[in-house]
Amino acid sequence: MPLSEVRPDAGNVLVELRDVHLAFGRTAVLKGINLQVRRGQAVSIIGPSGSGKSTILRCITGLLKPQSGDIFLDGTDVRALKSEAELIGLRKRVGFVFQQYNLFPHLTVLENLVIAPTRILGQDLASARSNAHALLERVKLGGKAHAYPGQLSGGQQQRVAIARALAMQPELILFDEVTSALDPETVGEVLTVIGELVQDGMTCVLVTHEMRFAEEVSDEVYFTEAGLIVEHGPAHKIFSHPDSERTRTFLTRALRGEEQGRRQTNSFSPISFDRLKFSV
């Protein structure tokens, strides 16, 4: 059953971006972004690589600071938060799942899930553990509690990452191209989990290249290109009869599978610590 109709229980505005500008040095990445996410909504941000989609997500959670514009999370002005403690307070309410290298490789799956609730939220270990097991069941990885991330497939790691974000009981979860680095076979299992989350009423913002999934799961879609929102609206409208020519071109190419989305290779490689071996 498609969820693309606006759900009647979508509540007040949870996230709002107003005219946000951000530049890295001299390169302008966001050139005036206006975005709104209501509580309970699922919003997708689509667009070509390099259009600033991931940057928007990082602004919402305070990982990046824009030069101008306003960002509000449930009324709190994110840009006004100065101290690290305030930023942490913000980040406790927002979950984030990244494309790769999410999990802590030196901890088991269970330890990954338990470390933040115990250290940051101050939960006691026993309840954190039982919550963690429940979450693992929810993402269908109940038996993997004592495995290390390196022993899991990409799809399994991403599901653990989603569970870890959920363990903090956030009000909102941001997904940054979470399936772009996965093998096609494992993409489906991650998308299923996200779909179930949306159905349960979690507010989600997804940056994704999976067009069919975005169409199926989102309430609202934003199409960005070169740092600007070209078009936005309800999912069924954007995907079937978008207003802008550029949106149409992009969607045609994307749905034809030509725009695969660049696989981001992280610059970490095993060579770096192999070279440390002969320090004569």
SS3 47: coil
* Residues at the contact surface with another protein, assessed by CB under 8 A: 22, 24-25, 58, 61, 63-66, 84-85, 88, 91-92, 94-96, 98-106, 115-116, 119-120, 147-152, 161, 164-165, 168, 266-268, 270-280
Q: Which is nearer to another protein, 122 or 257 (CB)?
A: 122
The amino acid at residue 187 is V
The tokens for 43 are 């919003």
Q: Which is nearer to another protein, 12 or 272 (CB)?
A: 272
Query: Can you tell me which residue has the tokens 């999934």?
Result: 213
In whole angstroms, how close is the CB of 195 to another protein at the nearest point? 22
The CA distance from 9 to 149, in Å, is: 37
Query: Can you tell me which residue has the tokens 């600071």?
Result: 65
Q: Which is nearer to another protein, 52 or 242 (CB)?
A: 52
Query: Can you tell me which residue has the tokens 């390169």?
Result: 27
Query: Can you tell me which residue has the tokens 């305070």?
Result: 62
Q: Which is nearer to another protein, 92 or 236 (CB)?
A: 92
Nearest to 129 by CA among 111, 143, 144, 142: 111
**Number of Cβ within a 10 Å radius of residue 131:** 18
Nearest to 179 by CA among 255, 261, 272: 261
In whole angstroms, how close is the CB of 258 to another protein at the nearest point? 26
Q: Which is nearer to another protein, 13 or 115 (CB)?
A: 115
In whole angstroms, how close is the CB of 157 to another protein at the nearest point? 10
The tokens for 183 are 């093998």
Are residues 159 and 193 in contact, defined by beta-carbon separation less than 8 angstroms?
yes
Nearest to 177 by CA among 232, 214, 129, 226: 214
Q: Which is nearer to another protein, 159 or 232 (CB)?
A: 159
DSSP E strands in the chain: the ranges are 13-24, 27-38, 42-46, 68-73, 76-77, 94-97, 172-176, 203-207, 220-225, 228-234
In whole angstroms, how close is the CB of 169 to another protein at the nearest point? 12
Q: Which is nearer to another protein, 7 or 92 (CB)?
A: 92
In whole angstroms, how close is the CB of 160 to another protein at the nearest point? 12
Q: Which residues contact 97 (CB under 8 A, 6 or more apart)?
A: 158, 161, 162, 165, 173, 174, 175, 176, 178
In whole angstroms, how close is the CB of 187 to another protein at the nearest point? 19
Are residues 73 and 14 in contact, defined by beta-carbon separation less than 8 angstroms?
yes
Q: Which is nearer to another protein, 102 or 247 (CB)?
A: 102
In whole angstroms, how close is the CB of 22 to another protein at the nearest point? 7
In whole angstroms, how close is the CB of 10 to another protein at the nearest point? 25
